[in-house]
Amino acid sequence: MGSGLQIIRREQSARSRQHRGIFSQVIYERDGLEILHTEMESGSVFDSQEFGDFSAAHYVIEGTPVFRQLHERADLMPGDSIVFLDQNAYTISNGAPDRSVFLSVLFKPCAAQLESNQLATKETLA
């Protein structure tokens, strides 16, 4: 099969999981990008560390999740989005009586960028 097509089945993703009223499913994954679909039941809380140490953009589809980082709080509604460019921890909570659904785009360092950073670190240590 030399077609160049690669099918990634949802069941094959190690990051898709369900726990504590939260269902997170990877719907697209490549070297530098990962897109997740997350559903949060009422009263659930999600920690950004579940995503890893990546910059992220979140787009609310349904519900009213609350994003908190240090002393800041953002109450979002459907159609709203929020971007976290740094790696500071944040939480996402759903205090509403209905579920919240949002898409998350995680910006992961590309393999070439990681190799470049590792080489630079080795040269600095030498």
- Which residues are 74's β-sheet partners? 67
Just give the CATH number of 17-125.
Answer: 2.60.120.10
- For 30-85, the pLDDT digits (tens) are 878 889 999 999 999 988 888 777 889 999 999 999 999 988 999 999 999 999 98
pLDDT at 125: 61
Half-sphere exposure of 35 (CA within 13 A, CB side): 6
Q: What is the pLDDT of residues 98-117, one digit of tens each?
A: 999 999 999 887 644 545 55
| 0.85 exceeded by pTM | no
**Quick check: helix, strand or coil at residue 120?**
helix
pLDDT, tens only, 6-37: 554 544 444 677 778 899 998 988 878 889 99
Q: Where are the domains of the chain?
A: 17-125
Q: Which phi and psi angles does 110 have, rounded to 5°?
A: -70, 155
